[in-house]
């Protein structure tokens, strides 16, 4: 049975409430390893790569470049066998 692990927008600092999604670093459907960089987001001060919370197959959600998302928004899932 496949388990789906959510990939959520992280709280990068105590003051972060939202981030701008910039780009995917991994294509939809590719196998990823835990801690592998998945995507890039920007706050008003810095850009950050966000790592995979688990190993498995990445399934992109609805995140679009230059769109703003609140912390905690699920933007993808990782299918874990």
pLDDT digit string, tens, across residues 12-66? 988 899 999 999 999 999 999 999 999 999 998 899 999 999 999 999 998 999 9
Q: Alpha-carbon distance 81 to 69, whole Å?
A: 29
Where do the domains of the chain lie? 3-80
Instruction: Give me the mean pLDDT over the 69-75 stretch.
Output: 97
Band the pLDDT of 81: cuts 50, 70, 90. confident
Walk across the sheet containing 3-8 and list its strands: 3-8, 74-80, 56-60, 31-32
DSSP helix/strand/coil, 50: strand
- CA 23 vs. chain centroid, Å, equals 10
pLDDT of residue 74: 97
pLDDT band at residue 1 under the 50/70/90 scheme: confident
Q: Which fold has domain 3-80?
A: OB fold (Dihydrolipoamide Acetyltransferase, E2P) (2.40.50)
pLDDT reported for residue 44? 86
């Amino acid at each position: 049975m496949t388990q789906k692990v959510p990939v959520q927008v992280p709280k990068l600092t105590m003051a972060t409430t939202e981030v701008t999604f910039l780009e995917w670093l991994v294509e939809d459907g590719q196998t990823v390893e835990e801690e592998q960089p998945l995507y890039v987001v920007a706050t008003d001060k810095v850009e950050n790569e966000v790592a995979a919370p688990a190993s498995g197959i990445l399934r992109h959600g609805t995140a679009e470049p230059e769109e703003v998302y609140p912390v905690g928004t699920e933007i993808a899932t990782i299918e874990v066998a």
